[in-house]
Chains A and B, each alone.
Chain A
């Protein structure tokens, strides 16, 4: 690519967009002015405007003829000064948010400053690459931050001047990118620093915020009129009120329209700056393969460049790649599509992204910080039983180093082919369908036919490749595999969700009966992808235990029956759980196996999903006590418990490491 020409093009387009933006601001002022003039005219016609008009200090332009002058310098001066003042003040407010410089931005999203004397090889390499790029771009060496909590590949530069600039990369970028690719990404960030993109973006953001404030002021006026002085001024005639009302409405419309277009221009401006930064990255590194490699990896990994941090959306313009999914054909996207960016550098790009490596390196997975522990023989003693229940409930929603180490050991036992498939957005749905396949020949044939009709013939081919690995898989590991696949499922296109949900339904039906695993799988998948088969779930929250005693009975009974074939044993488990719910202990009752089947459980969980947080928490605690009453966690118990937890929206770490089957 001719990067100098590409840089020139991007800069020219930026200028054009900035001019357009200037027009948008000017248009806002003119529209505000016109609105005011017409409102005054309207007030005059209705006979009460003279007094208001007099406030502007002008001579009476509304002669007896009723004609009016479109050009009224006094009004224009007042309107434009007011608009500029509002925009200016709002900009000042936004500006103060960033006055702490780049490091305050990096720290606000959870960045950790990399020690200049670090001995960690990856961090050392990062610092070296940053120094190299500082030399290549002729800028001072910025402070370097790492986002330890982000496994995605992304980075950003922040800072209003090159001296307070910082460069931040995610841990994912540090681990997944090669040296050359990292260099390309860092060079891209240096271009943002060199071209003052953050300063420009902040100015634009501030002005847009100012325009929004105009709209908000208009809205506030309207609301004020609605609740305020309407009654008192009605007696004197509505003219004055109407004038204020009209001005308020006009301000609101002008402000919101200005905001809309301002945002649109800003997004497109941001995309041009990305092209510029990509071209500069090639200029600095003289190595197009580096940055295209990084972009291809972002495209190939399921997690891509999306970040967890909520704050990230506020500074999404500064990142290397898109941090959130964008709708409306990318109109609002802060970054151009990946393939477009790659083609801008390498026109011969064949559209193939770099897929994650075949063998998943367990040591480099997100929990790599945890020291490796040998897998422990899963044989919980009866004495440990009491502790187990509390441990499960306490573990909900948290991740301890022990849990992470257990998960690591667990992950190592899952065949590599399956782990790879679970991480690919393309193979994950097929893998999940594969988990549901029956071992017996007769239902299996029907199930394969269902997969072929719902997901197409390719799916069968993929399934065949996975088959040996699937047959090796222990039943207790099916649920953890599903959990591995869930993030990839989230990356599915909305159009692919329907066939996938259909396939799951067909598979379960072909089997003839619903197993606890199939039940848990469907609930987990539907919950995660928020596909609700029936929108009948009430949206009103339930705050009272009394209102859900029936449902609680069903859940605890179902779990109790899963824990033991023996009815008296099950009753004992149920009692253990019920003892946790002191408030309603007397009102819930142990139901027979037929009254607490999966159909009843399904309905009960749907209703409980609408319960308030404390109810869900207590219920999960009680459920954990039921399944751990006998000190043994069967696979089907674990599956049901997970289905319950998923329905209640309480995440639980993998339990299979505790399983005693």
Chain B
């Protein structure tokens, strides 16, 4: 009789342990997927920016007849960054390709901010419906890039905290949940994204 009670008790304890282990495992998986998704978003938004820039330049061209070099700089920087992103995508493990992308991106950001400063002086351009739409889209894309990085870092922090706290740390080691790295912006210029504002 006593043996049966002990057996049932043991089984219950094992069941509770198994259930909580499954819970911890699932929560770690969902946290890991969240930061992976955040990372993918950064890529998506960078591509979107490459697509937007030619349209923006095309619209601005009609108004900025005397600013030809500024416009050409933007297009050139965009093409360089696009090529760099292709190389980086081809070999994601190659750290020099990633570094090249980062510096190309900061070059593009600089060229764009110069264009924005120049177009400040053309009220007609600022009032152009198409231009207003494009700048809104560009602002939004810049924001999305920043938010994607931030979301990546926030979710990495959450994931790391979760996998390092007590009961989880045991399972994390067993199931191979490795610590994740934070995203660091390497170039100082990159930290100061251009403020696109026509107000």
Contact = CB atoms under 8 A, between A and B. Distances in A.
Interface of A: 119, 121, 124-125, 128-129, 131-133, 135-138, 179, 183, 283-284, 286
Interface string B51-65: 000000000000000
A115 B151 CA distance: 27
A135 B144 contact: yes
Contact of B136 (A128, A138, A284): A128
A137 B144 contact: no
B94 to A, nearest CB: 27
A125 B199 CA distance: 14
Contacts of A286: 150
Nearest to B157: A4
Interface string B129-152: 000110011011001100110110
Majority-rule SS of B interface residues = helix
Contacts of B136: 121, 124-125, 128
A129 B142 CA distance: 12
A135 B41 contact: yes
B109 interface: no
B146 to A, nearest CB: 8
Contact of B148 (A124, A128, A135): A135
A121 B132 contact: yes
Given A121-B132, A121-B133, A124-B133, A135 B140 contact: no
B73 interface: no
25 contacts: A119-B133, A121-B132, A124-B133, A125-B136, A128-B136, A128-B139, A128-B140, A131-B140, A132-B140, A132-B147, A133-B147, A135-B38, A135-B45, A135-B147, A135-B151, A136-B148, A136-B150, A136-B151, A137-B151, A138-B34, A138-B155, A179-B139, A183-B143, A283-B154, A284-B147
Most chain-B CB neighbours within 10 Å: which of A119, A121, A138, A286?
A: A138
B26 interface: no
Contacts of B38: 135, 138
B48 to A, nearest CB: 11
A136 B147 contact: yes
B91 interface: no
Contacts of B144: 131-132, 135
Nearest to B38: A138
A286 B143 CA distance: 11
Contacts, number: 43
A181 to B, nearest CB: 13
Interface of B: 34, 37-38, 41, 45, 132-133, 136-137, 139-140, 143-144, 147-148, 150-151, 154-155
A655 B151 CA distance: 56
Contacts of A125: 136, 140
Nearest to B37: A138
Contacts of A124: 133, 136
A161 to B, nearest CB: 14
Contacts of B155: 138
Nearest to A127: B140
Nearest to A286: B150
Contacts of B154: 283
A129 B136 CA distance: 10
Contacts of A284: 147
Nearest to A137: B151
Contacts of A283: 154
A163 to B, nearest CB: 14
Most chain-A CB neighbours within 10 Å: which of B38, B147, B148?
A: B147
B40 to A, nearest CB: 10
Contacts of B140: 125, 128-129, 131-132
Nearest to A119: B133
A593 B137 CA distance: 68
A119 B133 CA distance: 9
B154 to A, nearest CB: 7
B37 A128 contact: no
Nearest to B42: A135
Most chain-A CB neighbours within 10 Å: which of B38, B132, B140?
A: B140
Nearest to A183: B143
Contacts of B139: 128, 179
A124 to B, nearest CB: 6
Contacts of A119: 133
A-B CB proximity, top 4 nearest: A128-B140, A136-B147, A135-B147, A132-B143
Contacts of B150: 136, 286
Given A128-B140, A135-B148, 12 more contacts: A121-B136, A125-B140, A131-B140, A131-B144, A132-B147, A135-B45, A135-B151, A138-B151, A138-B155, A179-B139, A183-B143, A283-B154
Contacts of B34: 138
A108 B144 CA distance: 32
Contacts of B143: 128, 132, 183
Contacts of A133: 147
A56 B21 CA distance: 44
Contacts of B148: 135-136
Nearest to A125: B136
B86 to A, nearest CB: 23
A259 to B, nearest CB: 34
Most chain-B CB neighbours within 10 Å: which of A119, A129, A132, A183?
A: A132
